[in-house]
Copies of this chain bind each other. A is one copy, B any other.
Amino acid sequence: MRTVLLLALLLASTPFFSQTEDEKQIKAIYDKALTDGKAYDWLDHLSNQIGGRLSGSVQAQQAVEYTKEQLDLLGLDRVWLQPVMVPKWMRGTPEFAYFETKPGLTTNVPICALGGSVATPDGGLKAGVVEVNGIEDLEKLGREKIEGKIVFYNRPMDPTLINTFASYSGCVDQRYSGAAEAAKFGALGVIVRSMNLRLDDYPHTGSMGYGDMPVNKRIPAAAISTKGAELLSATLKLNPNIKFYFRQNCKQYEDVQSYNVIGEIKGSTYPNEIMVVGGHLDSWDLGDGSHDDGAGCVQSMDVLRLLKETGYRPQRTLRVVLFMNEENGLRGGNKYAEVAQDKGENHVFALESDAGGFTPRGFTIDASEENLEQIQGWKGLFEPYLIHMFDKGGGGADIGPLKDGNMVLVGLRPDTQRYFDHHHAENDTFEHVNKRELELGAATMASLVYLIDKYGTIPSKKVKG
């Protein structure tokens, strides 16, 4: 009877013991992050000593060197640079724009060139304006109304969507493809309302592309601040014949050498199962890229340090990867996946933080149902930290190329309400990152990595079975 009771107690207590151990380890991670985090200091350096880190820039190279140096100091098993060729686009001198209601009567508006755009002619470009609510309007208007004009894309982000990334997705085609599409109808240039939910004076840049359009057909594209867009639109309603002038001398150069920065802790038991945690080291050039994505880089770096400092030795190989060139090319993400495949590496898990350094709310998970359920089963462990989102969804741009139908891809999901106030704009700066919010994100990531490492991922039956 005693033995049976003991056995029953043992059996009953096993999950509790494990639960307690996980609770303890996760508490140790959060405590460490909040009392002795390194993420904020690293971000201070990246943002305030280096600044905006556009691919191919001196600052991007400085960021590579700085983060490698800092990872070296952590005493990981291995730190290295992974070469990758990246595009180099430069903004040149500050852009300038106005609209002219009658000859000599002009109103300046804040603009910035979109990343990848061609320049205007040297003296600038001046033309009539046709406002549209999106690419679909071009067809309706036809070449007749567009030819020789500047197309003004003014569809705002939908403020009623609670997830502001969904609002962004609903608009960003104007920015990415607006120029290429308008050029087909004979437009001379495009001006795109900034992807910003707030009315303010900051133009927000971001990538755009011309597809396979010949260089001599490409037309310049710039973003206008949301207040500028509102003013331009209101003025056009009063006077559809106003002219818009803008000048930018941005330029695309030859690709240059750059690097992904990688640090690794070798797995103690399953060294061939690789887990990745990362963000992208490049940023746009207008601000200092604190939220996008300095935050994700320093959080990812701190994940390894937090596990190490709390005495946790991963069973699986854990890598921090600071990807280069997410913003205008994704070359770093593609290169990392390519090398992994060439080497036949077995990546089981990747976690990306690329949605700002705000209070973490949870994760989006791109995985099989079994893996999704396993992660959702850990919900209770995260509850004390107010982490409540465990939704099906994308992991992140940089880790996307790793996707193989078997591994688990996860994105950290911070609060999104303020993100697009800063995204790709001059005010994406260090003072808008809160230390605790950043640290909570790092701890949340480290906790998930710990659980994944401890319990493993569930291999897909189709692949394995």
Contact = CB atoms under 8 A, between A and B. Distances in A.
Q: How many copies does the complex hold?
A: 2
Contacts of A162: 30, 384-386, 440
A454 interface: no
A388 interface: yes
Interface size class of A (residues with CB under 8 A): 20 to 34
A160 interface: yes
Contacts of A437: 417-418
A386 B361 contact: yes
Interface string A29-68: 0110011000000000000000000000000000000000
Nearest to A35: B159
Given A386-B162, A388-B388, A359 B417 contact: yes
Contact of A434 (B35, B361, B384, B418): B418
A31 B160 contact: yes
Contact of A440 (B34, B386, B417): B417
A140 to B, nearest CB: 25
Nearest to A383: B388
A409 to B, nearest CB: 22
A159 B436 CA distance: 8
Interface string A389-412: 100000000000000000000000
A308 interface: no
Contacts of A35: 159-160
Interface in A374-388: 384-386, 388
A34 B198 CA distance: 11
Nearest to A27: B160
A389 B388 CA distance: 9
Nearest to A160: B31
A95 interface: no
A23 interface: no
Given A159-B35, A160-B35, A359 B415 contact: yes
Query: What 4 pairs between A and B have smallest CB-CB spacing?
Result: A388-B388, A34-B159, A417-B436, A31-B160
Interface of A: 30-31, 34-35, 159-160, 162, 164, 197-198, 359, 361, 384-386, 388-389, 415, 417-418, 421, 434-437, 440
Given A386-B388, A415-B415, A421-B434, 10 more contacts: A35-B160, A162-B385, A164-B436, A198-B435, A198-B436, A359-B359, A361-B386, A417-B440, A418-B434, A418-B437
28 contacts: A30-B162, A31-B160, A34-B160, A35-B159, A35-B160, A159-B436, A162-B384, A162-B385, A162-B386, A162-B440, A164-B436, A197-B436, A198-B435, A198-B436, A359-B359, A359-B415, A359-B417, A361-B386, A386-B388, A386-B389, A415-B415, A417-B434, A417-B436, A417-B437, A418-B434, A418-B436, A418-B437, A421-B434
